[in-house]
Amino acid sequence: MNTPERTGAAQRPNHPATSGAPRRKPAEPVAHVRYVMSGLRSTTIAFMVPAIVAPLLPAPLKPLRLMASGLLYADQQLQPSDMRFNPPPGRRGQCAGMLLGLLPFIPAFALQAHLSETWCAREGSVGARMAVTSQQAWTGFWNHFPKRVAQVAARYPINFVLARCVAQVAASIVGSSLSAGYHRTRGRKLVARKLPSVRPRLQQRVAARPDVYVAGGLLFLVPASLDTRIGLALLQKVGVPRASIGTVITSSLVGAALTTSMVTPERRA
């Protein structure tokens, strides 16, 4: 279709522009489900894997799973991401988004502990039947292996680990959804980000930002110390109710994760 010819200052040149930078293609929008799945992947690596391995460790070493979580979580913060929020949030917005993403872990763990001690422990309840069924399936599977292996597997707290993993998955999904919703209400769009052609290896990530790993290890030392025999006795001595000890430890875990994530302001929100 022909356009009317304009004169004066509004007239456009008939020849194409030969100078100036070429226009960039707008960033491709990303579905928020990808953001949720990214958060779930980080939760699996940093928290679910140590929770699964912890029952295999001697009792004095089990609290170290939280320090391992801190190092793994710190490494997840340095992993290159294929998405970002545009316009990027400021320091305060990044902190608010991360806090919303982590807070659901506190009620999720408290609810899991409560259901394990009440609903699942009540004889004849659906929860108790589910626990018996999963335990029987677990034992029956390992009975096909050598007797020594089956005996070790029988002592593994499969129901507790399953309940904890379900709580972590639920908290991660809810938290990522809240975080994405927070940024969306402030006009930020989730868009694709180009990944580097060669991803940095672990050794390169550690060499580039050793402070992040140090922060992760030291900050997660707080909940790890509270989860020891001495730490639990100290919490009881200062008057923390036994039913609230798990919430206190989880809250310190959330605080450690939030502080670790804020050490890297260039990290995606």
In this predicted model, what pLDDT tens digit does every residue of 175-222 receive, in sequence order?
999 999 999 999 999 999 888 888 889 999 999 999 999 999 999 999
Q: Is the pLDDT of residue 3 over 50?
A: no
Q: Please choose, from the candidates 37, 36, 32, 48, the residue with its C-alpha nearest in 3D space to the C-alpha of residue 166.
A: 48
Q: How far apart are CA 227 and CA 230, in angstroms?
A: 8
**Residue 121 has what pLDDT?**
85
- What range does the domain containing 54 cover? 29-193+201-262
**Residue 26 has what pLDDT?**
73
**Residue 123 has what pLDDT?**
86
Domain count across the chain: 1
**Residue 4 has what pLDDT?**
45
Q: Is the pLDDT of residue 11 over 70?
A: no
**Mean model confidence pLDDT for the chain:** 88
pLDDT > 70: percent of the chain: 89
**Residue 197 has what pLDDT?**
84
Higher-pLDDT residue of 17 and 115 is: 115
22: in domain: no
**Residue 225 has what pLDDT?**
96
223: in domain: yes
11: in domain: no
3: in domain: no
74: in domain: yes
184: in domain: yes
Q: What is the pTM of this model?
A: 0.85
